[in-house]
Homo-oligomer: A and B are copies of this chain.
Amino acid sequence: MNFKETLQGKTREIEEIIKAYLPREEGLQRTVLEAMNYSVLAGGKRLRPMLMQETYGMFGGEGELIHPFMAAIELIHTYSLVHDDLPAMDNDEFRRGKKTTWAVYGEDMGILAGDALLNYAFETAAQAFSLPGAENYAGRALQILTKKAGIYGMIGGQVVDVQAAGKPLEQERLEFIYALKTGALIESSMMIGAVLAGAEEPLVKQVEQAARDVGLAFQIQDDILDVTSSLEVLGKPIHSDDKNEKTTYVTIKGLEQAKADVEQISRRAMETLKSLPCGNPFLLELIEMLITRES
């Protein structure tokens, strides 16, 4: 099997794991359960659970202890999108070609479905405490999961991003947003994979460092693609970030420097990962694909 086929197979497997943890749509509170499942099943590359599972495997992790955390990280990612789309936030009615949660179920149910997804993420992760092996590692994994999703992680980045809307951004603030809003959940995914496989703290720190670089490179590549893809299609660099007068890595550093930085940051991430005492060729290829992707 080539990389693409392996990727597809693994994505299908993750899809099944996530589905197994979704709530059954029954009871008087059924509407919110439907809204939650609608949001989770609206698509997505399942990148975070995949990074978690692959890091887990790289450190020799086996068995189902990782499953509730894989579902949990995707539920957290999903809730963040549901709340981002709300009228009082980005006011988006469509995402990935489908109506957003609030656009289907109403604004009040959009808020409640997001709350429910976030709470259910931790409820799902807490199921790990009933599985073998939990006693040693699940507490630490939960500390990472909660911290990286919160005010010192994803929410922190989101707050600074919301407050920056319509204003010029300096590089420090932009990198803060990238590190927290995008990077934190990627760090969380890979760190939890390492922790649950029993990796020692210094190795977990190395994984965190690599994941931070992966997140940053991924986000800068996003900014680059936003310019180059429209250049290709339209012959001129009119792009969504530009229309919103949004500061991006490219508007600060220029296209060529941004490309050079992605190259350098991703090489550093690869070196960090390759310096670990164990390896996972698929994980390296996956990260390579994320960073050098053309769309």
Contact = CB atoms under 8 A, between A and B. Distances in A.
B119 A129 contact: no
Contact of A173 (B28, B159, B176, B180): B28
How many copies of this chain does the complex contain?
A: 2
Nearest to A138: B139
A162 interface: yes
Contacts of A123: 143, 146-147, 150
A149 interface: yes
A27 interface: yes
Interface residues of A, number: 55
Interface string A5-24: 00000000000000000010
A146 B173 contact: no
A71 interface: no
A107 interface: yes
Given A83-B111, A138-B139, A119 B28 contact: no
A36 interface: yes
A251 to B, nearest CB: 19
Contacts of A225: none
B32 A112 contact: no
Interface SS of A by simple majority = helix
6 contacts: A23-B151, A28-B160, A109-B162, A115-B115, A129-B142, A130-B143
A33 B152 CA distance: 10
Given A28-B160, A112-B162, A151-B120, A139 B134 contact: yes
Contacts of A107: 88
Most buried by B among A88, A120, A127: A88
A258 B133 CA distance: 50
A86 B149 CA distance: 22
A270 interface: no
A205 interface: no
A295 interface: no
Given A115-B114, A119-B155, A143-B127, A163 B36 contact: no
Given A115-B115, A126-B142, 10 more contacts: A28-B160, A32-B159, A83-B111, A87-B88, A88-B107, A112-B155, A112-B159, A119-B150, A129-B143, A134-B139
B36 A151 contact: yes
A286 interface: no
B150 A120 contact: yes
Contacts of A157: 29
Nearest to A88: B107
A64 to B, nearest CB: 16
Contacts of A60: none
A88 B101 CA distance: 14
